C-alpha cells in the first residue's frame, strides 16, 4: 500500500495537497502537529481497495499454519497480530468453494471493502527513519511558500484594518492615544505595554496624562544625591563611533575638577588606533590640570589602575567602533577583567532599532552601571531613545545637549524628557500616520514578533 506523507503550514493546506495528489476519496490514516506546520499520512482509496481483499486472503493461511509460541514474523522483528480473527470460518471457506464448483454454482464474491476496512488487521508500513530523504510529496516548492506568505500577509493586513476600525469604534480614546504614541516615535511593543491597563472611563487628555505617568515611573534616573562625580570610582565611557565619548569624558572631568580639584581626578584613554585621539584628551587634561594615561591592553590598564587606586575618580575614554565590530567583545572583556564600571553612551538622534542593537552588543558588560543620552539638542524627538532606555531598564545618569565643556552636561530632568518624548507631530508632518496606517503598523509589528518567537523556539528545539 502506497502511504504518502504531506506537510504544510496549516491543516487546510495539507488537506488540499492530499486532495490534489490522491483524489477526493483519499483516506486519512493519521495527522499530527509538527514544528512549523501539520503532518498528514494518507492513502488513495484505490490502493486501500486493492490491499483489503489480499490481506483477507492471506490472513486465513497464516492463522491455519500458525503454531503456539512466537510466529515467524515476530522472529524477524515484526509484531504479530494483536487480535486474530476466528479460525473456523476461514477453514470452511475453501470447502464451500469446492462444493459450489461441483454443483455448478458461481463462486462467492469477496466481502465489500467497507466491512474489512474497519478491522485493525492491516499491516501498515512503519514510519520512515528521520534520516530518510523526503519524498516528492513532502517538498514544498519555494515559489509556493512565497505565495503562501504573501497571501498570509494580505490577510493579516486586511484583518488589521478591520480590527483597527472596530477598536476605533469600541475604544476611541485608547485608539487615539495609541496613534499619538506611534506618531511620537514609540515602538508598537512599548505602546502596547503602556496601554494594556488603561482605564476605560478617561477622556483623551486624562488618558494621555495616565500614559505619561506610566512612562515617567518606568524611567530610571539619578539625582543630585547619587551623582557619580561625588561618589567617585572608575568609569569607562563606551559606545559606537561618533556618539561623543571624548567630549562627554571632558565634561565629566571638568565637573569633577570644579567640585573636588584636579588632584582627585585622572584620565585614561584606550584609543590608540585613531590618529590624534590621545592628543585630543591630552589637550583637555592640560587645560584642566589633570594627568592623562594611555592603556593599550588589559594588562596595561590593570597596571595603570593599580597606580591610580587612591584617586577619587578615574574616567576612561574608549575607542569608537561599530556595535557589530568584533573588537567590542575584546573591549568588554578588558573592562570585565579590571572591575571597571561602564557608562553606555546613546545618541538621541539614532533610530530605536539601532539603539537596541547597540545595547545588545554591550550587554555583556558585567558592570554596566547605566547610560548617558547625548545629542539631545539635535534630536527632533526623544521617544525612540527613552523607549529603548525604559524597555532595557537602563539607569540614565546624564543628558548631554551641546558641545560646551562643562556647561552642556546635566542630570536628567524627568518631566522635561517625558514632555519632549510625548510631543505630538503637527498635522502637516509627513511622518504622521493617517487612516488605517497605525493598525497596519501594529499588525506588522505583532507578526514580526511572532516570527521572531517561532525562530527562537525552533532554534531551541534543534539545539535540544
Average pLDDT over residues 208-219: 90
Condensed to tens digits (0 to 9), the pLDDT of residues 323-358 reads: 666 667 776 777 766 778 889 999 999 988 899 988
Average pLDDT over residues 296-325: 83
Q: Give me the residue label for grid cell 483489503.
A: 52
CA dihedral 291, 296, 297, 299 (to 10 degrees): -50
CA dihedral 181, 187, 188, 192 (to 10 degrees): -70
Fold of the 220-421 domain = Rossmann fold (3.40.50)
Q: Beta strands 37-43 and 3-8: pairing type? A: antiparallel
Condensed to tens digits (0 to 9), the pLDDT of residues 393-417 reads: 999 999 998 888 888 899 999 999 9
Question: What's the whole-model pTM score?
Answer: 0.59
> How many angstroms separate the CA atoms of 351 and 385, rounded?
8
Q: What is the helix (H) or strand (E) element at residue 233, kind and residue range? A: strand 233-238
What are the helix (H) ranges across 261-404?
277-288, 298-307, 327-337, 352-361, 383-391
CB 269 within 8 A of CB 317: yes
Lowest mean pLDDT among 55-64, 157-166, 286-295, 355-364: 55-64
Residue 418 main-chain phi, psi, to 5 deg: -65, -40
CB 90 within 8 A of CB 63: yes
Domain boundaries, the chain: 3-139, 141-170+434-464, 220-421
Amino acid at each position: 500500500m502506497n502511504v504518502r506523507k504531506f506537510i504544510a503550514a496549516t491543516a487546510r493546506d495539507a488537506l488540499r495537497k492530499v486532495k490534489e495528489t490522491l483524489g477526493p476519496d483519499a483516506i486519512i490514516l493519521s495527522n499530527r502537529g509538527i514544528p512549523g506546520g501539520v503532518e498528514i499520512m494518507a492513502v488513495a482509496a484505490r490502493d486501500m481497495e486493492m490491499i483489503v481483499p489480499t490481506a483477507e486472503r492471506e490472513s486465513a493461511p497464516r492463522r491455519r499454519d500458525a503454531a503456539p509460541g512466537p510466529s515467524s514474523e515476530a522472529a524477524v522483528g515484526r509484531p504479530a497480530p494483536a487480535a486474530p480473527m476466528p479460525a473456523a470460518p476461514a477453514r470452511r471457506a475453501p470447502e464451500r468453494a469446492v462444493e459450489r464448483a461441483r454443483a455448478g454454482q458461481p463462486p462467492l464474491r469477496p466481502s465489500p471493502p467497507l466491512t474489512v476496512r474497519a478491522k485493525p488487521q492491516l499491516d501498515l508500513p512503519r514510519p520512515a527513519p528521520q534520516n530518510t530523504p523526503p519524498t516528492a510529496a513532502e517538498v514544498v516548492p519555494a515559489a509556493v511558500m512565497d505565495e503562501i506568505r504573501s497571501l498570509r500577509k494580505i490577510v493579516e493586513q486586511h484583518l488589521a484594518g478591520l480590527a483597527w476600525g472596530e477598536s476605533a469604534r469600541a475604544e476611541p480614546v485608547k485608539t487615539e492615544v495609541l496613534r499619538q504614541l506611534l506618531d511620537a516615535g514609540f515602538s508598537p511593543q512599548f505602546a502596547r505595554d503602556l496601554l494594556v491597563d488603561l482605564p476605560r472611563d478617561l477622556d483623551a487628555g486624562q488618558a494621555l496624562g495616565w500614559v505619561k505617568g506610566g512612562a515617567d515611573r518606568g524611567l530610571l534616573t539619578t539625582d543630585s544625591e547619587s551623582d557619580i562625580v561625588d561618589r567617585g570610582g572608575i568609569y569607562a565611557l563606551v559606545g559606537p563611533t561618533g556618539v561623543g565619548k571624548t567630549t562627554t569624558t571632558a565634561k565629566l572631568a571638568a565637573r569633577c575638577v570644579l567640585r573636588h580639584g584636579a588632584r582627585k581626578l585622572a584620565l585614561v584613554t584606550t584609543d590608540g588606533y585613531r590618529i590624534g585621539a590621545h592628543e585630543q584628551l591630552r589637550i583637555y587634561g592640560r587645560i584642566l590640570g589633570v594627568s592623562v594615561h594611555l592603556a593599550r591592553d588589559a594588562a596595561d590598564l590593570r597596571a595603570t589602575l593599580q597606580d591610580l587606586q587612591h584617586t577619587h575618580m578615574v574616567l576612561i575614554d574608549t575607542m569608537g567602533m561599530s556595535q557589530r565590530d568584533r573588537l567590542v567583545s575584546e573591549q568588554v572583556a578588558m573592562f570585565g577583567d579590571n572591575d571597571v564600571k561602564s557608562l553606555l553612551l546613546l545618541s538621541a538622534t539614532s533610530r530605536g532599532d539601532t539603539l537596541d542593537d547597540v545595547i545588545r552588543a554591550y550587554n555583556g558588560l558585567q558592570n554596566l552601571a547605566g547610560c548617558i543620552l547625548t545629542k539631545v539638542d539635535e534630536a527632533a524627538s526623544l521617544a525612540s531613545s527613552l523607549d529603548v532606555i525604559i524597555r532595557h531598564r537602563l539607569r540614565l545618569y546624564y543628558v548631554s545637549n551641546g558641545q560646551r565643556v562643562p556647561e552642556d552636561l546635566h542630570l536628567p530632568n524627568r518631566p522635561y524628557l517625558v514632555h519632549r518624548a510625548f510631543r505630538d507631530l503637527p498635522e502637516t508632518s509627513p511622518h504622521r500616520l493617517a487612516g488605517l496606517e497605525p493598525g497596519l503598523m501594529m499588525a506588522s509589528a505583532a507578526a514580526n514578533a511572532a516570527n521572531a518567537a517561532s525562530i527562537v523556539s525552533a532554534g531551541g528545539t534543534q539545539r535540544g
